Amino acid sequence: MLEIAPAVYVGPDKMSFELCSFIGLQDTLSGTLGRHYFNSCYIEGVVDFIWGFGQSVYQNCTINATAHVLAPGLTGFIAAQGRTSAQDESGYVFSGDEWLGLDKGTITYAEIACTGPGSDVSNRVKWMKDPPDRELQPLVDIQQFINQDGWLNQTTTTFF
């Protein structure tokens, strides 16, 4: 029997990671509660490998979905965010990455200024949004989305 457990469990509020790698299969990175910031990290997994109920920003991160390596044609979903309503303040912001969602009512799926392989949006889901700047700004502005009280400005980067 194959046991699957999160490679990293991020539970507390106000956690930041920079230049870290997270590699697993399913549930690689679990951000259950609170605000989290990932900068220039590498995150790899097969299916639902970024999940939880947190409020997280993934800036300049490399997201590597490896489902196709296990079985050609296999589809692996990157994120499984537990947001339950449009009023829920939790969510994930990926700077330049794509993912697919199941509940269109609780997801805002938009790609803004993406480049590189896979950035052609012509074959994306039909419910993809093109929000005006006033709606997009609170999501892409780290200060408004996760750093309202300035906690991120006070973090120290520790390298192991």
Lowest-pLDDT choice from 99-113, 120-134, 136-150 = 99-113
- Flag whether pLDDT at 113 surpasses 70: no
pLDDT > 50? residue 108: yes
Taking the domains of the chain in order of start, what are their residue ranges?
Answer: 8-151
Architecture of domain 8-151: 3 Solenoid (2.160)
Which band of pLDDT confidence, cut at 50, 70 and 90, is reported for residue 1?
very low
The residue ranking higher by pLDDT, 146 or 73, is: 146
- The confidence score (pLDDT) of residue 112 equals 66
Q: Which strands make up the sheet holding 8-10, listed edge to edge?
A: 8-10, 29-31, 50-52, 79-81
Whether 48 is catalytic is yes
4 vs 91: which has the higher pLDDT: 91
Catalytic residue among 13, 48, 120, 141: 48
The residue from 27, 88, 97, 141 that is catalytic is 27
pLDDT tens-digit series, residues 8-25: 888 788 888 999 999 887
| 140 membership: H or E segment, kind and range | helix 133-140
Q: Is 27 a catalytic residue?
A: yes
The dihedral over CA atoms of 23, 106, 95, 131, expressed in degrees to the nearest 10, equals 160
DSSP class of residue 72? T
